């Protein structure tokens, strides 16, 4: 079977939710506009429960889960797993940072962007506001790569749908906290997908059998 068809068949719940979430975001931007969409979302959907949830969720679901997964891979898995997730996450982080700082260096985060327009946002207590480097969302980049990897580890479609939904919550959380605009999370999603697929073909499907050696050999 063609590798591309095999990948889509293997991870179709991931791809389905990925494109539904992102194209819904694009349609919302087309309908409201970037500014009005953020203001609408900020005004209509805030409550104390969501405040506390998203305050911690986006970091836990990306950075901490990524670290925990890499530690588990070192303990139990092969170099193929470690290099795919670790190298892909590392290069995507460099790529995301380079795009932010070299291409969109003057793009402001929502908090500062609307402050310059004398518009007050509803912000979450305890969440630090940021000023520069809004596009793309680095958290969303990592969430997509991590979700892609985890979905490859199971054939359970319900679990794949659940993981993809949790990925979507990271993007929603970045907008909810006014860390990013919706377009930033869409850009981060597609950048993450690009690096995930690149890593899949260059590392995961690499024929070098030495990659299948355990990182910590079992004696």
Query: Which tens digit of pLDDT belongs to each residue from 155-183?
Result: 999 999 999 999 999 999 999 999 999 99
Supply 92's token pair. 């995507």
What whole-number distance in Å separates Cα of residue 69 and Cα of residue 219? 23
Quote the pLDDT of residue 106.
85
What whole-number distance in Å separates Cα of residue 177 and Cα of residue 110? 9
69 domain residue, yes or no: yes
Whose CA is closest to 172, among 21, 8, 67, 19?
21
Give how far Cα 198 sits from Cα of 89, 102, 187, 191, 213, Å. 11, 22, 17, 11, 22
2 domain residue, yes or no: no
| Number of domains into which the chain is organized | 1
Task: Tell me the residue range of the domain where 159 lies.
Answer: 10-207
Q: What is the pTM of this model?
A: 0.92
CATH number at residue 108: 1.20.144
Q: How high is the mean pLDDT of the chain?
A: 92
Quote the pLDDT of residue 2.
47
Query: Which tens digit of pLDDT belongs to each residue from 72-91?
Result: 999 989 999 999 999 999 99
123 domain residue, yes or no: yes
Quote the pLDDT of residue 5.
56
121 domain residue, yes or no: yes
């Amino acid at each position: 079977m063609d590798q591309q068809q095999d990948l889509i068949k293997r991870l179709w719940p991931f791809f389905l939710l990925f494109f539904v979430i992102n194209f819904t975001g694009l349609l919302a931007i087309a309908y409201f506009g970037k500014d009005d969409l953020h203001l609408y979302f900020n005004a209509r959907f805030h409550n104390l429960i969501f405040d506390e949830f998203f305050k911690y969720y986006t970091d836990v679901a990306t950075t901490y889960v990524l670290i925990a997964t890499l530690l588990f891979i070192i303990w139990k898995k092969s170099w193929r797993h470690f290099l795919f997730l670790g190298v892909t996450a590392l290069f995507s982080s460099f790529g995301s940072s380079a795009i932010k700082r070299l291409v969109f260096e003057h793009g402001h985060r929502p908090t500062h962007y609307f402050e310059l327009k004398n518009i007050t946002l509803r912000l979450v207590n305890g969440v630090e506001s940021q000023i520069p480097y809004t596009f793309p969302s680095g958290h969303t980049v990592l969430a997509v790569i991590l979700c892609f990897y985890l979905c490859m580890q199971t054939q359970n479609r319900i679990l794949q749908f659940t993981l993809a939904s949790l990925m979507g919550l990271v993007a929603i959380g970045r907008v909810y906290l006014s860390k990013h605009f919706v377009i930033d999370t869409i850009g981060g999603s597609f950048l993450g997908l690009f690096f995930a697929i690149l890593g899949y073909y260059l590392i995961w499907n690499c024929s070098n059998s030495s990659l299948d050696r355990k990182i910590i050999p079992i004696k």
